[in-house]
Structure 1
Amino acid sequence: MKRVVIFGNSGSGKSTLAKALCDKHGLAHFDLDTIAWEASQPPIRKPTDESTKTIESFVVEHRNWVIEGCYADLLDMVMPHASEIIFLDLPVEVCIANAKNRPWEPHKYASKEAQDANLDMLIDWISQYNTRGDEFSHTAHTRLFESYNGEKTRYMDNHESI
């Protein structure tokens, strides 16, 4: 059974790595961004219990999977089911460059223009990764990584992981 959890800052390459692993191993893919937010401007987090039910259904429905996201609170719930975890711990500057160059993500945005309209907000968000203290922070991700007792990998360069 292969159940992989990938986490890190926005723009760290979580979706790219997840897709590569899915293609290589035939895994189901679950991007937590698709369930964590209300469709509103500005974005508002959905209640955690609502997201939790969706995640639990996915884990039960799929034997082999990749779950990726930056939500330490949601990932805490998934970690006991994981066979391995991957922490993409890239420098903020690399994550910002990746965000500026990301292709359109149709599962998240209605158009490339809608995605690009959020770019300034995303870059600001990414730049705060090391100073925030919330569930999206480097501190929270480091805690997840250090507390996991199974197979785990920490990449500090985006060329290592793909």
Structure 2
Amino acid sequence: MSKQAAARLSLDEVAFQDGAERRPLSDSIADVRRFMADNESWIIEGCYADIIEAILGNCEELIFLNPGVDVCIAHCRARPWEPEKFSSKEEQDDNLENLIEWVAAYESRADEYGLSRHREIYDAFPRKKRELNHPNEYASI
């Protein structure tokens, strides 16, 4: 019997409404819980510590992708157009410098999007976990 591929959810899909405005946290968490209930096997990705923390009890494994700020900025510069987020490639490119500035502050940021909060969640997770520090390791996911 073949194993079913895991359904994937980007937390960007449930965290925001109308561009940059965050949805109520309870609504985002409810959408993630529905996604998990509707799929036997799933992968959820995103940097939203407040959402992740609320669903950790349902996770059998936590994978922390932590390649460093320079790699993340390079990925930002190389990313293809994301039509689910931007109406055009030009609109996305107009936002690139803001994104790079946001990513550059990852290690010093004290909010839910920062390294210190992600590290706290990862370190406290009691089940199987992996920290991947190089994109070459991502193939193991």
Using the TM superposition, give the Cα deviation of residue 30 of structure 1 relative to its aligned residue in structure 2, in angstroms.
0.6
Which letter does structure 1 place at the counterpart of 2:129?
K
> Using the alignment, how far apart are the partners of 1:118 and 1:67 within structure 2?
25
> Using the alignment, how far apart are the partners of 2:88 and 2:43 within structure 1?
25
Runs of 4+ in 1 over 3 A off after TM superposition: none
User: What residue is the counterpart of 2:63 in the other structure?
Assistant: 86
Using the TM superposition, give the Cα deviation of residue 25 of structure 1 relative to its aligned residue in structure 2, in angstroms.
5.6
Using the TM superposition, give the Cα deviation of residue 153 of structure 1 relative to its aligned residue in structure 2, in angstroms.
0.6
What SS does structure 1 have at the residue aligned with 2:22?
coil
1:120 equivalent to 2:97? Answer yes
**More relative contact order, 1 or 2 (CA 8 Å, 6+ apart):** 1
Aligned residues: 137
What SS does structure 1 have at the residue aligned with 2:130?
strand
After TM superposition, list the pairs within 5 Å mapping 1:11-90 onto structure 2: 26-40=5-19, 43-90=20-67
1:61-106 C-alpha deviation (Å, 9 max, x unpaired): 1110010000000001121111111101111111101100011222
Which letter does structure 1 place at the counterpart of 2:73?
I
> Using the alignment, how far apart are the partners of 2:91 and 2:59 within structure 1?
33
1:151 equivalent to 2:128? Answer yes
1:106 equivalent to 2:83? Answer yes
1:8-52 C-alpha deviation (Å, 9 max, x unpaired): xxxxxxxxxxxxxxxx96111111001211214xx1211101111
User: What residue is the counterpart of 1:131 in the other structure?
Assistant: 108
Uncovered stretches (5+) of structure 1, i.e. residues with no partner: 1-23
> Using the alignment, how far apart are the partners of 1:84 and 1:72 within structure 2?
16
Root-mean-square deviation over aligned CA pairs: 1.4
- Structure showing greater radius of gyration is 2
TM-score (norm 1): 0.80
What SS does structure 1 have at the residue aligned with 2:74?
helix
> Using the alignment, how far apart are the partners of 2:85 and 2:124 within structure 1?
30
TM-score (norm 2): 0.91
1:99-118 C-alpha deviation (Å, 9 max, x unpaired): 00011222222222222121
Uncovered stretches (5+) of structure 2, i.e. residues with no partner: none
